[in-house]
Amino acid sequence: MDCKLLRVEDVHELESAVVFVPDAIAGELHFSEAKNVAGAIFPGVIFDGKTYKDRVVAVELDELKVYRGKRSSQGDGCENMKRRLSGEHIEPYKIRLRRKDGGEIIVQVFGTVIKWGGEVAGIVVAVDVTREEEKRKKLEELTTLLEFINKILRHDVLNALTSAAACLEVYDDMKDEAILHKAREAIERAVRVIKNMREFERIVKEGNLKIVSVREMAEEAAKGFAVTVNIKGDCNVLADDGLVTVFENLYQNAVQHGETERIDVEIRESDKFCEICVVDYGKGIPDEIKDRVFEEGFKYGEKASTGFGLYAVKKLIERYGGEIWIENNKPRGAVFVIRLMSV
């Protein structure tokens, strides 16, 4: 059975990006009203293109002009319908399709067997569930964020405040200013953690990306540091104010763990990508932990704190559709490399 022309995934082969449905059931599927639905039907017997076109009516869907798709984990639509026509039950499945404008949508595909003109026929309906999937993903992100915040508050903040309380008790007995200074540091650490949690929560909840200048984000972040930060180059990317947080955490890591006295930020555009290198000249990061520093809660070095900073960096970069990794800086130091799509 040849149903190549009828696969929802292969609508690009049809003129004017139309989908075909039988005249008899078009009204039942409400194609004229439900702009997020596309469908195709074909007999369960061998037929030629002319016979097929004579027996269906074309319906154009302005909101779903799909021209290319990716195979689902359950195989392509044609193969699934062959299995369904043979009597096998096929669960609805989701696939990603690319629109004419270059964007992607997610559709849920349903298939069943019907009687049409006295013949066994298969019907495929694809429903655009992109918004629902985005909401589901957003809910998962917020749930993960809440779990992470609760974990940090229970562990790091509680430990810092407990340490501060213990130092204050000792200070009451000894009146040692050094102990009082440790208490202040512990309280400041707790405040810093809470501020980071609040900022991370705000960024994730806002959800709207915009075109930003990488150089401006890097310069804004540098205002809070005493070390010299040299910034070279610029390009525009799709991100948000969270990119400032990314630079702040990378600068903080270079100063706190690397003990660098200088940071260089190199920004260059190449092959539709914006590549950002944050270079320090400190102690560097051991090879054996390079793959772990972005893990949730991972801590390293004598001045390890929450294990939150680089984890947040990775999550934000992934949110922008990018990637980040670490390289060695010769003769010493570390290089954090970020790659984002330029706009």
Angle between helices 309-319 and 242-256 (to 10 degrees): 150
Distance of CA 319 to the CA centre of its chain: 4
Q: What does the pLDDT read at residue 324?
A: 95
One-letter amino acid of 303? K
Q: What does the pLDDT read at residue 335?
A: 94
pLDDT in tens, 192-205: 778 777 777 777 67
The residues facing 262 across adjacent strands are: 228
Q: Which residues contact 329 (CB under 8 A, 6 or more apart)?
A: 279, 280, 281, 284, 335
Q: To the nearest whole percent, how much of the chain has pLDDT over 90? A: 18
Q: What does the pLDDT read at residue 277?
A: 96
Q: Which two tokens stand for residue 106?
A: 């997610």
Q: Going by DSSP bridges, is the β-strand pair 262-270/228-232 parallel, antiparallel, or unpaired?
A: parallel
Q: What does the pLDDT read at residue 268?
A: 95
Distance (Å, whole) CA 209 – CA 199? 16
Q: What does the pLDDT read at residue 75?
A: 44
For the chain, the farthest-separated pair of C-alpha atoms sits apart, in whole angstroms, at 97
Q: What does the pLDDT read at residue 18?
A: 32
**C-beta of residue 332 within 8 angstroms of C-beta of residue 281:** yes
Distance (Å, whole) CA 183 – CA 163? 7
Q: What does the pLDDT read at residue 218?
A: 95
Q: Which two tokens stand for residue 92?
A: 């609805």
The residues facing 195 across adjacent strands are: none
Give the chain's residues under pLDDT 50.
1-75
Q: What does the pLDDT read at residue 263?
A: 96
Distance (Å, whole) CA 34 – CA 127? 9
Q: What does the pLDDT read at residue 3?
A: 32
**C-beta of residue 112 within 8 angstroms of C-beta of residue 122:** yes
